[in-house]
C-alpha cells in the first residue's frame, strides 16, 4: 500500500542479480516443501529456519524460494498455546529479526505462552530480496516539493531511472512479491509450524496482510491483532491525501505544543509555525551543511521530520533539537533521521528498504495512474497538508512509472472468521484513525479498540488498557466489545 512505511529498520540483505524466469537465482531451487529444520541463531534459544514455497503457486512445477523464519520459543513450554506470527509493517520491512527484537518487550503472558515467529515477506530481508540500486543519493537530492518545471522534470527523471534499475537488476522477481502471494506464504508457514489456526500480530501494513489472510482463510483464524490498521478499500486519492493530512496534523500538534510551552529551542522566540516554515524554506533555497560533504535539502528535511513524527510525543524533544541544530547551520541531525528512513549507511550505500517498499506497494495498489494522475493527488495533498503533502505523495512517484499494473481497491471481508482485533491510535500520523474504523467495519468480524496518543500504533506503547485487551484476546481468546476506547 503506497505510503505506509515503517522507519529506522536497517537490515543486511543477500542479493544475487538474476532473471528468475531464466536461471533460478540464489535461494531458488526445485524442491518440495519439507519440515522446518530449526537451528540456533543469534545466541540464547533463538532459532532460525527456512521454508520452501513455490515462487509462482499459480503454475505447476514452479521453482521454490526459501522464506526466512526466526522463532523465539515460549518461556513456559508446559503451557504453550502455539505460535504467534508477527509482522512489523512496511511494505518492505523484513520480519525475521523483528521477532527477536520485539519478543522481550512483549507482555509476560504472551512471551511465556507463545513461540514468537517472524518471517521475511517476499522481496525483503533474505526472502528473494528486491534490489534496485545501492546509490539513491541522486533520487533524494531532487526536490520532492518541486517549485519549477525544471525541478519537476528532474524529480520524474530520477524516479524513472530508479524504476529502470529495479527492472534491470531485480528482473522477474518483481512479478512475485505481491501481498497476495505473501498471504499464501503465511498459510504455508502456519501449516509448517503445526498450528491448527493462526495467531498473528501485524503492525501497520502488517494489518493489511492479516486482513487479507482472514478473507482467504476465515476458518483458520484463531486471533489476529491488526494494529495501526490500513483500509484497503480506499482509492489512491483518498488514501494518500488522508495519510498526508495525518502527518500534517501530527506536525501541527508538535508546533502547537511548542507554542503553548514557549520554550522550543528552534523557534527562538518566534511563532513556532513561522519559524518552521522559514527554516524549511531556507533548506530549499540554500541546503544546510550536514558534515562529510553532505547537505540538508528540503527533501531530506521533510523525510527527517516525518521519521521523527512516527514516535509522537516521545520524539518531540528530539525533533526540536534537530530543528534548532539545523537553524544554527548544522543539518546533520535531520540528515541522520532521514538516513534511518531511507536505509543509508555511512558509506553512502542503501539497504533495499526503498526498493522493497516500491516493489510491494506498487504491486498492491491502489493505482496512482500516470505522472499526471499522481500530480492531481499531489495537488490535493498540498491543499490538505501544505507543509508535508507533496513530499509524502512523491515518495510513491515510482508507482506512476512502474511496469506492473496494480489491482483496484477492494473491500476485505471476513464475516465468518473468529473475532479480529483492530487497533487504531486517535492521532496516528501514518495510519489515520478513520482507517481503523473502516477496516473493522468491512471485515464484518472486526472488534475496534481506539487509543489516545500521537504515535504510530497502539500496542506495547505504554497504554495499559490496550495491552490488557490484547493479552486477554491472544491468551484467552476473549475479544472485547466493539468500539472500546482506551
Residues forming the active site: 204, 428, 456
52: which 3 cell numbers?
A: 520452501
State the Cα–Cα distance between residues 88 and 97, nearest whole angstrom.
10
* 167 class by beta-carbon count within 10 Å (0-12 exposed, 13-18 middle, 19+ buried): middle
**Helices 316-327 + 272-285 axis angle, to 10:** 50
State the Cα–Cα distance between residues 16 and 355, nearest whole angstrom.
15
Residue 151's nearest CA partner among 322, 399, 384, 378 is 378
| Secondary structure, 3-state, the chain | CCCCCCCCCCCCCCCCCCCCCCCCCCCEECCCCCCCCCEECCCCCCEEEEEEEECCCCCCCCCEEEEEEEEECCCCHHHCCEEEEEECCCCCCCCHHHHHHHHCCCCHHHHHHEEEEEECCCCECCECCCCCCCCCHHHHCCCCCCCCHHHHHHHHHHHHHHHHHHHHHHHHHHHHCCHHHHHHHHHHHHHHHCCCCEEEEEECHHHHHHHHHHHHCHHHEEEEEEECCCCCCCCHHHHHHHHHHHHHHHHHHHHHHHHHHCCCHHHCCCCHHHHHHHHHHHHHHCCEECCCCCEECHHHHHHHHHHHHCCHHHHHHHHHHHHHHHHCCCCHHHHHHHHHHHCECCCCCECCHHHHHHHHHHHHCCCCCCHHHHHHHHHHHHHHCCCCHHHHHHCCHHHHHCCCCCCCCCCCCCCCCCCEEEEEECCCCCCCHHHHHHHHHHHCCEEEEEECCCCCCCCCCCCHHHHHHHHHHHHHCCCCCCCEEC
Q: Which residue has the cell 489472510?
A: 213
Amino acid at each position: 500500500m503506497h505510503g505506509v512505511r515503517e522507519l529506522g529498520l536497517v537490515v543486511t540483505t543477500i542479493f544475487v542479480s538474476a532473471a528468475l524466469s531464466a536461471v533460478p537465482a540464489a535461494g531458488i531451487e526445485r524442491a518440495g516443501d519439507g519440515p522446518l529444520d530449526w537451528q540456533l541463531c543469534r545466541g540464547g534459544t533463538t532459532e532460525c529456519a527456512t521454508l520452501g514455497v513455490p515462487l509462482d503457486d499459480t503454475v505447476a512445477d514452479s521453482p521454490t524460494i526459501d522464506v526466512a523464519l526466526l522463532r523465539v520459543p515460549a518461556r513456559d513450554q508446559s503451557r504453550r498455546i502455539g505460535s504467534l506470527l508477527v509482522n512489523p509493517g512496511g511494505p518492505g520491512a523484513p520480519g525475521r529479526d523483528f521477532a527477536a527484537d520485539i519478543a522481550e518487550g512483549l507482555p509476560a503472558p504472551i512471551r511465556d505462552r507463545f513461540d514468537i515467529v517472524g518471517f521475511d515477506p517476499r522481496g525483503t530481508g533474505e526472502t528473494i530480496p528486491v534490489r534496485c540500486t545501492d546509490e539513491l543519493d541522486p533520487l533524494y537530492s531532487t526536490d520532492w516539493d518541486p517549485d519549477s518545471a525544471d525541478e519537476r522534470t528532474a524529480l520524474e527523471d530520477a524516479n524513472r531511472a530508479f524504476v529502470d534499475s529495479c527492472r534491470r537488476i531485480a528482473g522477474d522477481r518483481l512479478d512475485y512479491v505481491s501481498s497476495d502471494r505473501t498471504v499464501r506464504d503465511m498459510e504455508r508457514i502456519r501449516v509448517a509450524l503445526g498450528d491448527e489456526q493462526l495467531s498473528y500480530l501485524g503492525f501497520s501494513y502488517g494489518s493489511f496482510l492479516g486482513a487479507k489472510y482472514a478473507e482467504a482463510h476465515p476458518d483458520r483464524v484463531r486471533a489476529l491483532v491488526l494494529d495501526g490498521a490500513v483500509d484497503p478499500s480506499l482509492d489512491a486519492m483518498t488514501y494518500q491525501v488522508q495519510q498526508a493530512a495525518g502527518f500534517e496534523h501530527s506536525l501541527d500538534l508538535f508546533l502547537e505544543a511548542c507554542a503553548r510551552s514557549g520554550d522550543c529551542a528552534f523557534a527562538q522566540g518566534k511563532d513556532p509555525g513561522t519559524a518552521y516554515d522559514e527554516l524549511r524554506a531556507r533548506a530549499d533555497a540554500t541546503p544546510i551543511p550536514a558534515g562529510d560533504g553532505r547537505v540538508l535539502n528540503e527533501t531530506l528535511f521533510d523525510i527527517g521530520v516525518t521519521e521523527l513524527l512516527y514516535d509522537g510525543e516521545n520524539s518531540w524533544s528530539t525533533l526540536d533539537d534537530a530543528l534548532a541544530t539545523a537553524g544554527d547551520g548544522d543539518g546533520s541531525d535531520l540528515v541522520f533521521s532521514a538516513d534511518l528512513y531511507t536505509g543509508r549507511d555511512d558509506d553512502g550505500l542503501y539497504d533495499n528498504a526503498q526498493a522493497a517498499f516500491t516493489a510491494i506497494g506498487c504491486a498492491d495498489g491502489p493505482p496512482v495512474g500516470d505522472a499526471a494522475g499522481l500530480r492531481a493527488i499531489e495537488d490535493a495533498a498540498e491543499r490538505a497538508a501544505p507543509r508535508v503533502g507533496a513530499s509524502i505523495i512523491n515518495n510513491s512517484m515510482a508507482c506512476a512509472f512502474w511496469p506492473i499494473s496494480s489491482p483496484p481497491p477492494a473491500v476485505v471481508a471476513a464475516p465468518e472468521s473468529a473475532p479480529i482485533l483492530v487497533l487504531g491510535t486517535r492521532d496516528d500520523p501514518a495510519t489515520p484513525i478513520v482507517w481503523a474504523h473502516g477496516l473493522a467495519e468491512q471485515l464484518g468480524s472486526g472488534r475496534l479498540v481506539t487509543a489516545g496518543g500521537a504515535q504510530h500504533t497502539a500496542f506495547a506503547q505504554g497504554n495499559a488498557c490496550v495491552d490488557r485487551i490484547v493479552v486477554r484476546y491472544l491468551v484467552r481468546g476473549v475479544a472485547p466489545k466493539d468500539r472500546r476506547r482506551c
